[in-house]
Amino acid sequence: MTTLDEGTGGSVRVERDAEHPAVAVLRLDRPKMNALDARMQREIRAAAERVGADDDVRAVVVYGGERVFAAGADVTEMAEMGFAEISDHARGLQEAMTAVAGIPKPVIAAITGFALGGGCELALCADFRVAAEDARLGQPEIRLGVIPGAGGTQRLARLVGPSRAKDLIYTGRHAAAEEALSIGLVDAVVAPSEVYDRAIAMAASYAGGPALALRAAKQAIDGGLETDLATGLEIERMHFAGLFATEDQKAGMRSFVEEGPGKARFSGR
């Protein structure tokens, strides 16, 4: 159960979970299929930036509702665009996705129904994906005579490997939830009625952790994947050393010495 956090856009709301107030929910709500038109893209970006900057938010769930996650970009909006128009439009779509991927906190996508095209690309921006047993994911853009344009060719290949990504992209086919689980496209498959609760529970399990260390871990992993090992190790070293300037490091190590592991309480500072 969630309570609305007022002041957000019409198609994308920021909500707070009633039981876990440190968990924010980016709720997609554009009937029937959460097609990602230009307005919704802007709202996704604004919502992502908002929860990223809110110190009271420690983890985030992206959720499209009980019936569908997001069926893709709005094809009717794009169909007659020329090169100049679609170049600008694609930039806006990528910026929305990049904003979600850049949220400096654990992010879980709660996937019901379809996560196709831009919807799949949005799910790829999360750190983890929980899918319903009847969910279907894919990049069907090839069937429209184009390719994924919001990160699908890049994030999908990094997640499941180039061969599996090419199969999904070249064919445009939908992967059922169990296949998605077997190739690492999703991290858990549960009954449709359990998707939201499982995602919230996952987010809550991270929300009590040291916020600055979690941010550093995410940035080190994501940044390291984009470069060579030596550079990645340097990124890691710098983040590791920087955390020794935080209160959480002092609290965590002091608690370990005095009380043993797993008892520290973190302030996020």
- Beta-carbon neighbour count of residue 43 at 10 Å? 24
Q: Is the dihedral of CA 137, 160, 154, 25 positive or negative?
A: positive
Torsion of CA 238, 240, 243, 248, to 10 degrees: 170
- C-alpha 182/C-alpha 185 separation (Å) is 8
Q: Which of 141, 194, 234, 236 is catalytic?
A: 141
Per the annotation, the verdict on 258 as an active-site residue is: no
Q: Which of 19, 121, 234, 258 is catalytic?
A: 121
Per the annotation, the verdict on 141 as an active-site residue is: yes
Examine residue 32 and say whether the peptide bond preceding it is cis (omega within 30 degrees of 0): yes
- Active-site positions read 121, 141
